[in-house]
Amino acid sequence: MTIKVGDIFPDTVLTYVPYDAKNPEACGLPQQLKTHAAFKGKKVVLFAVPGAFTPTCSEEHMPGYVQSVGEMKSKGADIVACVASNDQFVMHAWGKSYNVKDDILMLSDANGDLGSALGLVNDGTARRMGPIRLARFAIIIDDLKVVYVGVEPAPGVTVSGAPAVIAKL
């Protein structure tokens, strides 16, 4: 079953490497993020990409969020987060490559728990990317309630891109 507007966002565990302002070049220790604990009482913009450092994700999807994170926060987003099927170290490195610091939370769903709970996974085996890859999507969550879901119907970035999300905030 695929997540839809009005649903409660699933309670899953993701991982990330926190940004360290005192030592921005460091790669810290991975931390767990429990979605209900982290997102309760907050407005969250969560966008998902099939893979960090991949062409569409790097050239189209992520840049829009990097450029628009301030506007999203000014429109009420408490957290802007990116999630992918990559491990937390790859997500941390990808965030560093965009200098996101702690403006965008770079989350890993390497085991596919969140994607499976949302019903938004694809099989990347044919492209040699593994059996569980997140679909490309964006979700707005308000105090754990899903208020927007934009899942890309085809390759490219439209309903999950930053402009579409800003229009829904």
Active site residues: 57
Please report the beta strands in the chain, taking only residues with DSSP state E, as ranges in sequence order: 13-16, 31-34, 43-49, 79-84, 105-108, 121-122, 133-134, 137-142, 145-151
Nearest to 106 by CA among 118, 94, 115, 117: 94
What is the pairing mode between strands 31-34 and 43-49? unpaired
The burial of 13, by beta-carbon neighbours within 10 Å (0-12 exposed, 13-18 middle, 19 or more buried), is given as: middle
Q: What are phi and psi of 159, to 5 degrees?
A: -70, -10
